[in-house]
Structure 1
Amino acid sequence: AFVRRWKDLEEQSKDKKKEERGRFTGKVCWSWLKRRDETCCCSEAGKGELKHVGNLRDGFPCAQHINSLFGNGKDCTPGAGRCSGAHWSEERLLIELGQDMHPGEGRAEVSTGVPDASVAARPIMREAGTRRGHVTAERSSSLSIETSREEASQQEVDCERLLRILVEEKETLMNAHLEVFLRSPWVERFRQDTRLASLLKFKNRSKEITEAMAAVKQVKDALRCLQLPETGDQVVMLDVCSGKGFTGLLLSLEFPRASVYLLDANGNMNMSHCSSQDNLSFLHFDLFSSRAAEVLVDIAGMKTVIAVGMHLCGSLSPRLIDLFAFLPAAKALVLCPCCLRGYLGKTVKAAAKESGRGYDETLCEVLADMLRKSAHVSDVMVVRDDQMISPKCRFICALKNQTGRSTREACVQNDDGG
């Protein structure tokens, strides 16, 4: 009898907490949160009552995390690739809902382990008067490479050896992207500059090169369709979530008049190779920062922006799509997604199973549909590149405001025909 009474009291306590949290749960439009494209399924009566949390400019919070703040279900693991958006604090959520939580009401404050997006630090920008190839101050010490003549000679031998190995790999793999890389006029820079050659030391160099050269090819097609100079003059190219920035490096070499930015949330990498190119910069950048759109507008200035995202994981692809749709200066997007998590990830898996298609193909079509729903995006196509040494070998290519011009598909077909 005591145990039954104790269980009854426990259930009553849970019901009371659910009732308190329900006051806030019912105020959120969940379809708005999950779709992430500023559309929803609200009825005419519900549109005035339900709160649309998040937007394309500032990003959408993680729906699972928001649900957990209401005490429903488990929270997801924060971080890129593990959730579908930023992890807001309970205080920020209540402000968005126009609610005040007094002490003792609702849920105790939750520590997410992730800084509130409203106070996220602005990406580090280079100071006025510094050279264009400047990288963030926290890594500036890595730019000083002082070696003796003997060390420099040994490093030069290593550069030659790495390129010889790459030639052998090209002949073995019979890969078109590796051949184009080795025939490019700027490949001599890898033989002469140890900072560049250091990027070829890894065993997966052929894979990295084919992925980067595939992205370069798609950017070339975008420039042609936008009727912009092949040198990249008056163009800003963004290598989003760049990692070490091999793709961005090849973009800066192939398009010497373009301004290329490597954007990544990891500011602790050795980016000394950035100083080898005057048109290449690294920015410590949080894609989910509430000021991300503002910073990208500052970077763009009056130039045309082409955004490139290679193998973006989780919520990074939808976030990049949101920013691309929002930024007026962004005219082309080259996106090669890796995976999705959360609600969108489950949607992709279900669609792939139903259609009988592969996960990667379905993933790209789902993200392409997100782009097609944008009022400003006029041309979207999914391109497969079998010369990429990767199972994730599809690009989502999009153009903006191309009314009256040839579509991207027509541009590519004309180029192949010529």
Structure 2
Amino acid sequence: RRALDFMLASERALANPYVRAFVDEKPLLERFLHDPAMAHWARKSNLRKEVTEAMGALTQIRRCVPMERDGDGDASGDGCVPRDSGEERERDEVGEGLVFVDLCAGRGMLSILMAHFFPAARVLMVDADPKIKLPHLACLPTVEHHLLDVQSAEAFDLVRGAVRDATRACIVVGVHLCGDLSRRAVQLFLETNARALVLCPCCLPRRRRHDVFGFHVVDQARSLKREPHGVWCMALHGLLPWRDRETFAVDARVDDDVEGPFKTFLVARRKKQTSSFRGAAEDGSEGSETVCPR
């Protein structure tokens, strides 16, 4: 039996709301069950964990998608001006005009879900591992794979181009980004003028140089008598412009329905598409940038 079959037969697995939502999405489930291009996913031993992580990220992405809501609420749009247009609501539902950049995407479970739930959006998968097999991309026409190091200038240019090409918004997403890659995700969000960031940090940065961001997290956690990963998430949250509440909505949420040790999501969204943002998106100009420390 495949991992997918075990998941479908497990009452404990189906009790997880993310697994249940995945199973209840019949067209998606049928593809995983019967499409030969998805066969490797059905056999993947940690499929259940991958599903909950990706569905958890999707939940946070959906909080960022109603781009026309530019009031004073948080990243979910709470307290924002309601929209009456059914056309705008439909655009939200299909992802029209959106470009998602999935950093360190691996095999791309999250990219698969974004392509399914936002069929009119473009999804850019970015990963530096040339050995990953991606046969399922043949049946996902809106997903593009880019073999790039997230730390490279080429990756920066890719996100900048996505911001320019998106007719509504570019959303940067990173699930389980290890070490300094999480800081890099924040940097890409801030310095490319992407509209939103959904980030689930993973392990701590390596202690190589004392002047590198995050080097002292373990020592700080010990001093504060806190769990190191929580302190790392707080440090990353501090890089985001949480004080600028007129321009940004920033928060951090722990999602206990995500299975695995890392389940904190940092979510940031630009509330309004300013003139400088439009300039960067439309004509390739630099616009105004918030710079993230190296």
Q: For residues 387 and 252 of structure 1, do their structure 2 counterparts lie closer, same or farther at Cα, with a shift above 3 Å needed?
A: same
* TM-score where L is the length of structure 1: 0.54
State the partner residue of 2:33.
Answer: 191
Letter in 2 for 1:369: G
Aligned to 2:250: 380
Any stretches of 5+ residues in structure 1 without a counterpart? Answer: 1-157, 405-418
The answer as to 2:114 corresponding to 1:251 is yes
Q: Contact (CA 8 Å) 1:240, 1:307: kept in 2 or not? A: yes
**Which of 231, 251, 260 pairs up with 2:123?**
260
2:19 counterpart of 1:178: yes
Q: Which residue of 1 aligns with 2:292?
A: none
Q: Is the 8 A contact 1:378 1:401 kept in 2?
A: yes
Give, in whole Å, the separation in 1 of the partners of 2:53 and 2:214.
23
Show the counterpart of 1:307: 172
User: Structure 1 374/243 Cα, relative in aligned 2: closer, same or farther at 3 Å?
Assistant: farther
Deviation at 1:236, TM superposition (A): 0.4
User: Residue 144 of structure 1 aligns with which residue?
Assistant: none
> Aligned letter for 1:332?
A
Cα deviation, residue 249, structure 1 = 1.0
Q: Aligned with 1:177: secondary structure?
A: helix
* CA displacement at 1:230 relative to structure 2: 2.0
Query: SS at the partner of 1:399?
Result: strand
Structure 1 residue 349, shift from structure 2 partner = 1.6
CA distance in 1, matches of 2:175, 2:19: 18
Partner of 1:168: 9
Distance 1:226 1:352, change over 3 A: farther
Match of 1:26 in 2: none
Counterparts of 2:25 and 2:18, CA distance in 1 = 11
Q: Secondary structure at the match of 2:250?
A: strand
Corresponding position of 1:350:
219
Q: Which of the numbers 254, 263, 273 marks the counterpart of 1:393?
A: 263
| Distance of aligned partners of 1:335 and 1:272 in 2 relative to their CA distance in 1, 3 Å threshold | same
Which residue of structure 1 aligns with residue 55 of structure 2?
Answer: 213
Asked if structure 2 preserves the Cα contact closer than 8 Å seen for 1:237 and 1:305, the reply is: yes
Moved more, 163-172 or 335-344: 163-172
The answer on 1:318 being equivalent to 2:188 is no
Which residue matches 1:334?
198
Question: 1:312-368 CA deviation, whole Å, 9 max, x = no partner?
Answer: 11211111111110112x111010111222343332222222322212221111101
- CA deviations 1:100-124 (Å, max 9, x no partner) are xxxxxxxxxxxxxxxxxxxxxxxxx
Q: 1:347 to 1:230 in 2, by over 3 A?
A: farther
Task: Using the aligned pairs only, state the percent identity.
Answer: 29
C-alpha separation in 1, matches of 2:272 and 2:12: 40
Residue aligning to 1:127: none
In structure 2, distance between residues paired with 1:270 and 1:403: 38
Q: CA offset at residue 162 of structure 1?
A: 5.0
Structure 1 letter corresponding to 2:267: C
Matches of 2:148 and 2:247 in 1, distance apart? 25
Q: Is the 8 A contact 1:224 1:230 kept in 2?
A: no
- Between the aligned partners of 1:252 and 1:312, the Cα distance in structure 2 is 21
Q: Which has the larger radius of gyration?
A: 1
Q: Please list every run of 5 or more consecutive structure 2 residues that lacks an aligned counterpart in the other structure.
A: 70-90, 275-294
Given residue 23 of structure 2, which amino acid in structure 1 is its aligned partner? L
Give the match for residue 233 of structure 2. 364
Q: How many residues align?
A: 244
Deviations 1:66-110 (A, max 9, x none): xxxxxxxxxxxxxxxxxxxxxxxxxxxxxxxxxxxxxxxxxxxxx
- Tell me the secondary structure at the aligned position of residue 176 of structure 2: strand
* Structure-1 separation of matches of 2:213 and 2:232: 9
- Name the amino acid aligned to 1:219: I
For residues 172 and 382 of structure 1, the distance between their equivalents in structure 2, rounded to whole angstroms, comes to: 26
How many Å apart are 1:272 and its aligned residue?
A: 1.2
TM-score, with length taken from structure 2: 0.76
1:302, distance to aligned residue in structure 2 (A):
3.3
Residues of 2 paired with 1:341 and 1:242: CA distance? Answer: 21
1:357 alignment partner, SS class: coil
Partner of residue 65, structure 1: none
Partner amino acid for 1:334? V
SS at match of 2:179: coil
CA RMSD in angstroms, aligned pairs only: 2.4
